[in-house]
A = this chain, B = another copy of it.
Amino acid sequence: MENTAEIDFEKKEELIKAALDEFTEKNFSEASLNTIIKKAGISKGSFYYHFENKEDLYLYLLNHAFNAKWEFIRARGDHNPATLEKDDLFAKIKIQARLGAEFAAAYPQYYQLAMKFSSEKGHEIYDTALDMLGNKSENIFDEMVEAAIRNGNIKDHFSRDFVVKILRYLINHFNEIFDHQEGIGLDELLADLDNFVDFLKYGLSR
């Protein structure tokens, strides 16, 4: 794909739709490019004219999904955790997690894609994609935790590393823990979420 600009062609919509369907159902290696282009009603020649290969398409989709999330969060900038300097770590986490949940509800396919992607850990494609995306959000998150530790809000017999690992992992895997499926109600999800963050707070803060 020409990374310089947004390319456009006749059946781009159909291709993206078909690719999303495939990549949210199967992981990268199991997903079939043939299936995708058949579903999109596009020929091999057309596909390979616009994209380098299967990986190119996958990265393109991932990029779109993450951009959508950033845009979604930016549009609700008033609630952005970075703007709430006075609140404590867990209040920020709650807000951030809420935004994540709302995004998942608004763009379920992008959310599912991100879930499938996170299960690619250990595969080549995972590191390739991380390189491309540049994980800014993780750094912001780490800084939030660091600040909380400095301020003495965390039980002090837990090391910084310990706290960061737990929080990062648990927040990312919240949906997996409570295996919220596609059609779950947002209210129900947010109730679980609040309880979950409370649990984290009791567990880590003093």
Which A residues are within 8 Å of any B CB, using their own CB?
29-30, 119, 155, 157-158, 162, 165-166, 169-170, 173, 176-178, 192, 195-196, 199-200, 202-204
Contacts and interface: CB of A to CB of B under 8 A. Distances in A.
A33 B205 CA distance: 50
Contacts of A165: 177-178
A177 B119 CA distance: 14
Question: What DSSP secondary structure best describes chain A's contact surface?
Answer: helix
Most buried by B among A192, A195, A199: A199
Contacts of A173: 169, 173
A29 B27 CA distance: 11
Nearest to A178: B165
5 contacts: A29-B30, A155-B202, A165-B178, A166-B177, A203-B203
A176 B166 CA distance: 10
A176 to B, nearest CB: 7
A166 B166 CA distance: 13
Given A166-B177, A166-B196, A173-B173, 8 more contacts: A119-B119, A157-B195, A162-B192, A162-B195, A166-B199, A169-B177, A200-B203, A203-B203
